Structure 1
Amino acid sequence: MSGNNNNPVNRSGSHMGHKNISIKLEENIDNVKKSLLHSSDLIVRNLEFANRKIGIVFIDTLIKGEVLESQIIQQIIQNPKKTIEETVSIKDIKTSSSFDEIVVALVKGNAVIFTDNEGTAIILNIALLEGRSIEQPDTEQVLRGAQDGFIETLETNINLLRRRINNPNLVVKYVTLGRESDTSLAIVYVDSIANDDLVKEVERRISYIDVDYVSNIEEYIEDNSFSPFPQMLTTSRPDRVSANLMDGRVAIITDGSPSVLVMPITFFSFYQTTDDYNSRWMMVSFFRLMRMLSFIISISLPALYIALVSYHFEIIPIELVSNVKSSLEYIPFPPLIEALSMQITLELLRESAIRLPSPISQTLGVVGGLVIGTAVVEANLISNTMLVVISITAISSFAAPDSEMGTSVRLLGFPLMFAAATIGLIGIVFGLMIILIHLCKLESFGTPYFAPLAPLRRKDLKDTIYRVPMWKMTDRPRSALPKKLRSAKNPRGWKQNE
């Protein structure tokens, strides 16, 4: 990881100047109105408190109106002899003399109280935090385990993590990005486990993000933006993030997004699920092997079929030769065009199904899978064998637990098909070698992407392609770069000679 210490200053909000508020109430209110361009939902309530004029300023669409009335305005009216800080029953309260800080506080859902002939203002946090209910993510459902998921509220997402990791070493660092949007995000890690250099590298990369608006920072901080493979794990499951934090990884939570980024990560992490640690190890090992097989099938099966029928027909078993020949007899297109047309049609159906409401998308899947498939075969546009090959490829690609990895694998199948149509099996071998070399060269925040196979780390193999019993997994994966490698000590000490 880079040791460059010349970090640029985070320029979030740098469009503002630095000035203090006036001691004149009306001047302060006028300045606020000008700064917020006389927005219609900017409200000013003028009151008298202890024979002094005060102005309560807030953005009506961002605050809890009932809290403002009952815990601030009514309390001020009923207790004129106390100070405002003693009067209001709001926990999150502070004072500020910075006009810029006050404007930022207003757009984040705070109420601000200006007092005539006073050079400081009181900021009260009464932000309205509306969000959907906590429920299991649709894209990461599990059979066993927790049934909750992250939502779009930063504070709620951090709460879900703290409820799982009751550890004073769990560190949450807030960062604000976006010159115009002032988007909040949190860097989360366990200080006693996470590597200090890893945390510094994450902070260093984030510090370089200088844009007007931020919603997803993944492409800003990943090692290789031109790689088809995702280099950070994106998940909406708190239990999965918690497990990665306890391995020594770092998580980034962005306000307004239910997806959390986890780094560093390896290729094999995308073929693991939460259920892998809630089920018996033999079953888990079998399904992990099936997922690895699905990766190989989805990336190479169409290309292999094209190479066999175009250049290496003699390799096909004699029992299948007559069936394959008869299916190709009346097809006017070469195998490459067949495969491309079916793969593109499948991608169009998948994209359409994602955008449509659930009942319609299910109908579209039936229509696309049965009607279109049957029609193109009966019209002699696509061979029966090609339809079977594409169907198996589609099922294999959907077996990837991570949708982003599944999409990457499907896209990599296209250049392999062209290579197979050009020089047959030799083209497939060259294409797979290029992909393998790329996987071995790729890194995720200083961690080899194809670890523990390249470089080979035998001890880490116990939780990659297969999984050993939980009590044998006493070390954290070295790919997470943890401070402490040992995570457990003889958890089955009660049973001798095992």
Structure 2
Amino acid sequence: MRSKKNNSNYRSSNKEIVKVVSDNLSTNIDFVKNALFNTSDLTIRNIEKNNQKVAVLYIDTIVKSDVIETQLQQIINSPNEGIINILSNKDIKLSTSLDESILALVKGKTIIFTENETTAVFLNTSSFENRAVDEPHNEQVVRGSHDGFVESLEININLVRRRINNPNLVVNYLTLGRESDTTIALVYVVSIANEELVKEVKRRLSYIDVDYVVNIEEFIEDNSFSPFPQMLSTERPDRVAANLMDGRVAVVTDGTPSVLVMPITFFSFYQTPDDYNSRWIIASFFRLMRLLSFIISISLPALYIALVSFHFEIIPIDLVFNVKSSLEYVPFPPLIEALSMQIILELLRESAIRLPSPISQTLGVVGGLVIGTAVVEANLVSNTMLVVVALTAISSFVVPDSEMGTSVRILGFPLMFAASFIGLIGIVFGLVIILIHLCKLESFGSPYFAPFAPFRSKDMKDTIYRLPMWKMNERPKSPLPKKFRKTKNSRGWKNNE
């Protein structure tokens, strides 16, 4: 018969063996040192309390030293009381696991081991530097709040709860990343969000198995090969709060200011907080302009190529001579003109992003003027093509979401090739393929091109235009919320006059 060894320092389970806190102080300290590979910023403070040895361990580069000194002084001044009763730290936790102690240390907590005791005390003393709450530079608004998410998960949750003072707002914490141990938060309003949607988001997140979490969007989106983003990435708390109240779910990741909102529709990318902070007529006008910019940015260069190459007779007679004279000395076909100018534009845009702000502004102005003037005077590009590319670039920058704007510019390239081969017929085929793809695409089981596919007339009130706020008394059906009705009659005062 085999003898079974008993080791009090280990707790066995079916899946793994967990190292537990020993009653020997030296054993615990040695385990922590070895687990952290004797890192130089591990600090060990030894004190004595009521004839018991106490070890205080922390990583000094990620903790608040003044808080630790205050707590140590409290322990020394009260030798006859328990540590839990002495310390005033609001976040005190007890644990019997040394493995959990290691994870707590690298997250900025302070660990207290006591001789002849098998329980460790965790103190929240983390001091990770956070950026000040400020308006996101890529989502600025004229009217409305001017605060934005930062890289701290706690601050981001605070900004959301500040806007939704509702006990039904639920925050579920998950941990991803085998090596990074990144914390993410699943945020939703339990009384509005669809339960199946919440379960589906959790299910997809549970399958993520990576060492380091950089971008979870590609792991959980429905179609990774689609050029269109299927989740809204935003840094604005007011935008997240509004989507949560429509029954959607938000995923907040620690260490990034971008929050993912799902499910989403195509038209959500052309909506901004300004639409709801302005009067409905103004908001509807600018929303129509944004949607028109989508058509211009995706098809204008292709349309110019088709007209010049195949359908010159469509151009008004007054413009024919101007277009013809600008093309007379250009040695390249219109496709090469458009491709070269679009690539130069993307290079200027990318370099402006990477350079410091003062230099990037100079580069954008000087580079655009110099290159534009030089290529026209050298007869490498026609004046008309320069105007077309400029209008296309301006239209693509109108999109409130930068990722959607980039996708639109990319889709313009295959349309240009189609136009250069078979003219307007190629453009029509290309647009039909894009439309079919939009109608087929889904975001967490919700139709991406709703309310047009499938057609929902009631949801049209906040799509290509916006009706007055008191008319939008129902939530959109895309996220399938539990409650469709928002308000009953917000202008009841009008009936009582």
Same topology, TM > 0.5? yes
Match of 2:125 in 1: 126
Matched, 1:456 2:455: yes
In structure 2, distance between residues paired with 1:289 and 1:148: 27
Match of 1:100 in 2: 99
Match of 2:109 in 1: 110
Q: Residue 176 of structure 1: SS of its match in structure 2?
A: strand
Matched, 1:91 2:80: no
In structure 2, distance between residues paired with 1:292 and 1:145: 22
Match of 1:192 in 2: 191
Q: Residue 148 of structure 2: SS of its match in structure 1?
A: coil
- How do residues 48-447 of structure 1 correspond to structure 2 at under 5 angstroms? 48-70=48-70, 72-447=71-446
Which amino acid counterpart does residue 430 of structure 1 have in structure 2? F
Instruction: State the Cα deviation string for residues 439-478 of structure 1 (Å, max 9, x = none).
Output: 0000001110000011100000000000000000000011
Contact kept? 1:16, 1:100, Cα under 8 Å: no
Which amino acid counterpart does residue 281 of structure 1 have in structure 2? W
Match of 2:4 in 1: none
Match of 1:40 in 2: 40
In structure 1, distance between residues paired with 2:320 and 2:142: 43
Following TM superposition, by how much is the alpha carbon of 1:118 offset from its aligned partner in structure 2, in angstroms? Answer: 1.1
Match of 2:29 in 1: 29
Match of 1:470 in 2: 469
Following TM superposition, by how much is the alpha carbon of 1:497 offset from its aligned partner in structure 2, in angstroms? Answer: 9.2
In structure 1, distance between residues paired with 2:351 and 2:104: 42
Q: Residue 418 of structure 2: SS of its match in structure 1?
A: helix
Q: Residue 494 of structure 1: SS of its match in structure 2?
A: helix
Contact kept? 1:215, 1:254, Cα under 8 Å: no
Q: Residue 170 of structure 2: SS of its match in structure 1?
A: strand
Give me the TM-score of the superposition, normalised by structure 2: 0.96
Following TM superposition, by how much is the alpha carbon of 1:369 offset from its aligned partner in structure 2, in angstroms? Answer: 1.7
In structure 1, distance between residues paired with 2:106 and 2:200: 31
In structure 1, distance between residues paired with 2:151 and 2:167: 25
After TM superposition, the runs of 4+ consecutive aligned structure 1 residues lying more than 6 A away are none
Contact kept? 1:185, 1:254, Cα under 8 Å: yes
Identity level (%):
73
In structure 2, distance between residues paired with 1:375 and 1:226: 38
In structure 2, distance between residues paired with 1:290 and 1:226: 28
Which segments of 5 or more consecutive residues in structure 2 lack a partner in the other structure? 1-14
In structure 1, distance between residues paired with 2:140 and 2:98: 47
Following TM superposition, by how much is the alpha carbon of 1:371 offset from its aligned partner in structure 2, in angstroms? Answer: 1.0
Which amino acid counterpart does residue 48 of structure 2 have in structure 1? E
Following TM superposition, by how much is the alpha carbon of 1:129 offset from its aligned partner in structure 2, in angstroms? Answer: 3.1
Match of 2:19 in 1: 19
Following TM superposition, by how much is the alpha carbon of 1:21 offset from its aligned partner in structure 2, in angstroms? Answer: 1.5
Following TM superposition, by how much is the alpha carbon of 1:17 offset from its aligned partner in structure 2, in angstroms? Answer: 4.8
Following TM superposition, by how much is the alpha carbon of 1:489 offset from its aligned partner in structure 2, in angstroms? Answer: 1.0
Following TM superposition, by how much is the alpha carbon of 1:147 offset from its aligned partner in structure 2, in angstroms? Answer: 0.8
In structure 2, distance between residues paired with 1:497 and 1:269: 36
Which amino acid counterpart does residue 32 of structure 2 have in structure 1? V
Which amino acid counterpart does residue 260 of structure 2 have in structure 1? L
Contact kept? 1:303, 1:417, Cα under 8 Å: yes
Match of 1:481 in 2: 480
In structure 2, distance between residues paired with 1:150 and 1:481: 27
Following TM superposition, by how much is the alpha carbon of 1:322 offset from its aligned partner in structure 2, in angstroms? Answer: 0.6
Moved more, 345-354 or 90-99: 90-99
Q: Residue 487 of structure 1: SS of its match in structure 2?
A: coil
In structure 2, distance between residues paired with 1:270 and 1:246: 17
In structure 2, distance between residues paired with 1:41 and 1:469: 59
Instruction: State the Cα deviation string for residues 339-383 of structure 1 (Å, max 9, x = none).
Output: 000000000000000111111111011112211101100000000
Q: Residue 264 of structure 2: SS of its match in structure 1?
A: coil
Which amino acid counterpart does residue 454 of structure 2 have in structure 1? P
Given the superposition, is the C-alpha separation of residues 17 and 381 from structure 1 closer, same or farther in structure 2, using an over 3 Å criterion?
farther
Which amino acid counterpart does residue 93 of structure 1 have in structure 2? I
Match of 2:5 in 1: none
Following TM superposition, by how much is the alpha carbon of 1:266 offset from its aligned partner in structure 2, in angstroms? Answer: 0.1
Instruction: State the Cα deviation string for residues 52-74 of structure 1 (Å, max 9, x = none).
Output: 0010011111111000001x110
Q: Residue 110 of structure 2: SS of its match in structure 1?
A: strand
Q: Residue 477 of structure 1: SS of its match in structure 2?
A: coil
In structure 1, distance between residues paired with 2:162 and 2:452: 35
In structure 2, distance between residues paired with 1:303 and 1:82: 79
What do you get for the CA RMSD once the two structures are aligned?
Answer: 1.1
Instruction: State the Cα deviation string for residues 65-106 of structure 1 (Å, max 9, x = none).
Output: 000001x11001111011111111111111111111111111
In structure 2, distance between residues paired with 1:73 and 1:333: 77
Give me the TM-score of the superposition, normalised by structure 1: 0.96
Following TM superposition, by how much is the alpha carbon of 1:16 offset from its aligned partner in structure 2, in angstroms? Answer: 8.3
Contact kept? 1:17, 1:100, Cα under 8 Å: no
Count of residue pairs the alignment pairs up: 483
Following TM superposition, by how much is the alpha carbon of 1:215 offset from its aligned partner in structure 2, in angstroms? Answer: 2.1
In structure 2, distance between residues paired with 1:133 and 1:17: 43
Q: Residue 241 of structure 1: SS of its match in structure 2?
A: helix
Which amino acid counterpart does residue 304 of structure 1 have in structure 2? L
Q: Residue 150 of structure 2: SS of its match in structure 1?
A: coil
In structure 1, distance between residues paired with 2:50 and 2:104: 26
Contact kept? 1:25, 1:114, Cα under 8 Å: yes
Instruction: State the Cα deviation string for residues 291-334 of structure 1 (Å, max 9, x = none).
Output: 11100000000000001111111111111111111000000000
Following TM superposition, by how much is the alpha carbon of 1:496 offset from its aligned partner in structure 2, in angstroms? Answer: 2.1
